[in-house]
Amino acid sequence: MSDDLPLLSLAIWLPIISGIIVLFNGNNRLVKIVALLAALLTFIISLALYSRFDISIHAMQFVEFAPWIPDYDINYHLGIDGFSLPLIILTTLSTVIVVVAGWEVITRRVNEYMASFLIMEGLMIAVFTALDAILFYVFFEAMLIPLFLIIGIWGGANRVYATLKFFLYTFFGSVFLLLALLYLNHVVGDFSIISYQQATLTMKEQTWLFLAFLIAFAVKIPMWPVHTWLPDAHVEAPTGGSVILAAVTLKIGGYGLLRFALPIAPDASMALDWLVISLSLVAVVYISFVALAQSDLKKLIAYSSIVHMGFVTLGFFIIFRISSNYDIGSIEVLALEGAVIQMISHGCISAAMFLSIGVLYDRMHTREINDYGGVINTMPVFAGFAVFFAMANIGLPGTSGFVGEFMIIMAAFQANFWFAFLAATTLILGAAYTLWMIKRVMFGEVTNENVAKLTDINSREFIMLSSIAVIILVIGVWPAPIIDVLHVSVEHLLAQVSQSKL
C-alpha cells in the first residue's frame, strides 16, 4: 500500500460497500465468503493503521478532509489519535469473529445478516474517526439501524420489547447530544470537533453541555441508572449482535466522554466529577449484586459488562481527585490509560463470554443456568475455554481483565481510600457471580439428557475462541504495546482538562 492511500476511508467504506453488495446476493455460500474476505481485509487495514501510527505526536493522524455540505460548513473530516486506534482494531477484529460465529448458525436471511454487520462495522469505524460533529452524529445515529435490525430480525421471542426499549433509550440520549453539538456550533462557528474542544465556555454553558454529553453517553455505556436496556437487548440479540453490542457499541459511550465531555467542558467535568464517580461506584457494587441474582446466562454477563464499564467511567473521572505527592501526572495517566485499556479488554472478554454462551445456546437453545450442569463432562475443551474466559472476566493477573482494573484501583486509592475500597470489592463480587455461574453450568455430574447429548466445539468454534483467548492472554502478559499507543493522547487530554476555560 502506498502512503497516500486514504486508509480511514477505506476502513469505513470497504465494509459498507461490501455489505451493500452482499445484501443483494442470494447465494449464501458466496455471501459468507465475501463477508469474511471484507471483514478480514478491513482488519488488515486497521493493522496497517497501527503499524504506521506515530506514537510520538498527539495531533490527529491519517487526516482526510473534504467538504460535504459546504453551505453549512459541514465536512467529511476524518482522523485518529491514540484513543481511536485501539478501538478501531477492536471493531475490525470483532467483526471478523462475528462473521465466523454466524457461519453455520445463521441459516435465515444470511445476506441481510452479514450485510448488517458489515455496514455496522463501517459505521462504527466512522464514529471513531469522525472529526466533524455532524458527521459524528450521523454515524452515531445510523449505527443504531443495523443493530436494531439485527436484534429485531434474528432476535429471541421478546425481541420487539427489547428493540423498542433499546432504541428509545439511546434515542433519548442522542437528542441531548444533538442539542449540545448544535449549541457548540453556535459558539464556535463551525462543526469541527477540534475547535469545539478549544471553545471558550462559561461555567454555566459547560455545565449544561456536560450534562447533555453525560446523558447521551451514559445511556450508551451504560451507566447506572440508565442501564436497564442492556440486559434486555443482550438477551434478545443473536450471538453476533451481543458480541458487537458488548465489544464495541458500549465503547462508543466511553469514547464520547473522552472526545467531547472531558475536553470541551473540563471545568464542569471537574465540578461534577462526584456525580460520575458515585454512579460508577454504584455500578460496580450494586450491579455486581444484581448480577449475582441472575438465572439467565446472557443477563448475567450483561450485568457484568455494566460493572466493568463502571471501572471505565471511574477511571475517567478520578483524575480530578488525585493529588500525587511525588510526581505530577503519572497517576492521572495511570487512571486514564487504565480506563481505555479496560475498554479494550472488556471488548475482548465480553465478546468471548457471549460467544461461549452462543456455543451453548446453539446446542441447547436455552440460556437458563438451571438447564445446564456438568457441561465439562461432554464438552471438556469448551469448558477449558469457558473457565479461562471466566478468569479473565474476574480480572485474574495474566489476562487482559487484570490490567485495567489494577491500574484504576491503584489510581483510585490516590484519589480517595474509599473509592479504591469500593472498586476493589469487584475482586470478591466479580469472582462470586462469575465462578458461581461456572460452577452451576460447567461442573458437577451431567444433570440431564440434553447435556449428555452435547458435542464438543468444532474446529470453527475452536479457532474463534482460541484466537480471542490468545489476545486476552497477550494483553495480560504484555500490555505495553497498547499502553504506548495511548501515552501522548492521554497526556494531551490531561493538558486540555487541567487548563481551565474560565
Partner 1 sequence: MNQNLLLIIVLAPLLGSIISGLLGKQVGRMWSHRVAIAGVGLAFIISIWVFKLVVFDDQTYNGQVYQWMQVGSISFEIGFLIDSLTAIMILVVTFVSLMVHIYTIGYMHHDDGYTRFFSYISLFTFSMLMLVMSNNFMQLFFGWEAVGLISYLLIGFWYKKPMAIYANLKAFLVNRIGDFGFLLGIAAVLMYAGSLDYVQVFIQAPEIAKKTISIFSDVQWSVMSLTCILLFIGAMGKSAQVPLHVWLPDSMEGPTPISALIHAATMVTAGIFMVTRMSPLFEFSDTALSVILVVGATTAIFMGFMGLVQNDIKRVIAYSTLSQLGYMTVALGASAYAAGMFHLMTHAFFKALLFLAAGSVMISLNHEQDIRKMGGLRKYLPITYWTSLIGSLAIIGFPGMSGFFSKDLIIESEHISSITGHDFAYFAILISVFITALYSFRLFFLVFHGQEHFTLHNGKQLHEPSIAVRIPLILLAIPSAVGGMFIGSIVFGDFFDGVILVLPEHNVLAYFGEEYHGLVSFILHGLMTTPFLLALLGVSVAYIIYVKRPNIAVRLRQRFTWFHKVLVNKYGFDNFNDKVLAGGSRLIARVFWKIGDLTLIDGVIVNGSAKIVGLAARMVRHIQTGYLYHYAFAMILGVWLLLTLFVV
Smallest CA-to-CA distance from 104 within 413, 399, 464, 382 is with 464
Residue 488 is a binding residue for partner 1 (CB under 8 A): no
Distance separating alpha carbons of residues 281 and 287, to the nearest angstrom:
9
Q: Is 421 in the site for partner 1 (CB under 8 A)?
A: yes
Our finding on whether 289 is near partner 1 (CB under 8 A) is: yes
The bridge status of strand 61-69 relative to strand 74-80 is antiparallel
The yes or no reply on residue 27 touching partner 1 (CB under 8 A) is no
Closest to 183 measured CA to CA, from 277, 295, 265, 66: 265
Which of 248, 261, 412, 497: binder of partner 1 (CB under 8 A)?
A: 412
Q: How many CA atoms lie within 13 A of 453 on its CB side?
A: 6
Does position 13 interact with partner 1 (CB under 8 A)? The reply is no
Considering all CA atoms of the chain, what is the largest pairwise distance in Å, rounded to the nearest integer? 70
- Smallest gap from Cβ 259 to partner 1, in A, equals 21
Tell me the C-alpha distance between 461 and 458, whole Å.
5
Q: How far apart are the first and last CA of the chain?
A: 46
Evaluate whether 60 touches 460 at the Cβ level (below 8 Å). no
Look at residue 397 and give its three-state secondary structure. coil
CB of 189 to partner 1, least distance (A): 34
Residue of 48, 179, 398, 496 interacting with partner 1 (CB under 8 A): 398
Q: Which residues, numbered 334-373, are part of the site for partner 1 (CB under 8 A)?
A: 334, 337
Number of residues written out for the chain: 502
d(CA 259, CA 194): 9
Binding mask 292-311 for partner 1 (x = CB under 8 A): xxx-----------------
Q: Which of 364, 435, 473, 488 binds partner 1 (CB under 8 A)?
A: 435
DSSP run (H or E) holding 78:
strand 74-80
Name the minimum Å distance from CB 411 to partner 1. 8
87, 248, 290, 379: which one contacts partner 1 (CB under 8 A)? 290
Strand partners, 78: 64, 130
409 binds partner 1 (CB under 8 A): yes
- By beta-carbon proximity to partner 1, the closer residue of 60 and 387 is 387
Query: Is 417 among the residues that bind partner 1 (CB under 8 A)?
Result: yes
Of 175, 197, 170, the residue nearest 184 (C-alpha): 197
Among 76, 329, 378, 496, binds partner 1 (CB under 8 A): 329
What nine digits make up the cell of 390? 471466566
Q: Distance between CA 475 and CA 407 in Å, rounded?
A: 14
Q: Does 410 bind partner 1 (CB under 8 A)?
A: yes
Options 5, 59, 427, 452; binder of partner 1; rule CB under 8 A = 427
Q: Which stretch binds partner 1 (CB under 8 A): 132-140, 145-153, 243-251, 413-421?
A: 413-421
Please give the grid coordinates belonging to residue 307: 460493572
Give contact residues for partner 1 (rule: CB under 8 A).
Answer: 165, 168-169, 225, 228, 286, 289-294, 326-327, 329-331, 333-334, 337, 374, 376-377, 387, 391, 396-398, 402-403, 406-407, 409-410, 412-414, 417-418, 420-421, 424-425, 427-428, 431-432, 435-436, 439, 442-445, 478-480, 483-484
